[in-house]
Amino acid sequence: MSILSKSSPFLRAALALTAALGCGAMVASAQTTDEVSTTAPATMNAAVPAYSSSADQTVVPPANVNLAINVKPFDFLNAMQYGGGRRGAPRYRGGNTNPDGSNKWIFFGGAGMAVPSGNTSNYYTGSWGFQAGFGRQFSKKFAVPLQFDYDHMGMTNTTLASEEQVYNTMANQYNAANPGCAGTAAGCASPPNPLDGNMHIWSFTVDPTETLKQTDSWGFYAVQGVGFYHKVSNFLTPETETIFDPFFGPEAFTANEVIDHYTSNAPGFNAGFGFTYKFSRFSNERFYAEARYVFVANSYRPGITTANMNSSASNYLVANDFPGNSERTEYFPVKVGIRF
């Protein structure tokens, strides 16, 4: 007791520092214990899951934690069409595409048949034809292509019989008016027999086309156009020619040759409807089938017919022996093909 009471100031200071350090350690130990035993935040609404050393232990997340990830399925078509990520306004490939995704240019080609109508069917019979075109497409709904068409037709038996009668009558009259003509002499007319013939029309037109309905697979469109039409009627007769073959000598062959033809140039217009079908959602090509009505405003040119063929024979070699070629023309071209 006497020792403690007589302790030096230095000793008293050391004891005070030791007591202070001991209290700090006790406080730190109490805080650590509280932190370990603290429960999960109220927002978790679940106890901390117990883990085991088993590798197949299933970990169940708290019920109120939303771990769903908003993953958008990969869009192959957009990936093809748009470069990189889609941010803001869409960016289309190159400069050949319209804002709605359609190509700026259209190309097509097809073939089918041509069927005469109206008065034209009195002279000609249906046959074959083809078409090709290209032009500007302003949107999925509207395009203005430039088109070339070639339509071939035969001639009716009535036309050929009447024309053969005209040729024979005029030839006989011409030979009778020229002494010394026996039908085969130089400068004399030879009646064609038998007679054959055909007609064709080729045209260049501008054809505005409007799509009335279109889905991913099929479409329906209306077309109308105007342009230039060139009409040609040919009359043919069998001709025999001789060629020299170096191994077999002279050989004769017979083929139809044009003995007379008539042309007519005129403006015309067309109008019709078409159907398209897309082969695949990944391609731009479409099958199309269309039918149109064509009217060509030919200017009639009078000439020799069976009704007036006996009036004169002086113009046999230069006369218009087929005025039917200059009559107005009407027909229906029906074509199928590919648009792309």
pLDDT at 20: 54
Any residues with CB less than 8 A from the CB of 241 and at least 6 apart, and which? Answer: 252, 253, 254, 255
pLDDT at 29: 47
Name the residue among 316, 318, 320 with its Cα closest to residue 174: 316
Residue type, 295: F
Domains of the chain: 105-339 (2.40.160.20)
Burial call 73-111: b when 16+ CB within 10 Å, e when fewer: eeeeeeeeeeeeeeeeeeebeeeeeeeeebeeebebebe
pLDDT at 28: 46
pLDDT at 12: 57
Q: What is the pLDDT of residues 264-315, one digit of tens each?
A: 999 999 999 999 999 887 778 899 999 999 999 999 999 888 888 776 555 5
pLDDT at 61: 57
Confirm if 134 and 103 have CB atoms less than 8 A apart: no
pLDDT at 216: 84
Q: What is the pLDDT of residues 174-213, one digit of tens each?
A: 788 777 776 556 668 777 888 999 999 999 999 999 999 9
For 266-306, give the DSSP string: EEEEEEEEEEEEES-TT---EEEEEEEEEEE-PPP-----T
Residues in the chain, pLDDT under 70: 1-94, 182-187, 245, 248-249, 252-253, 311-318
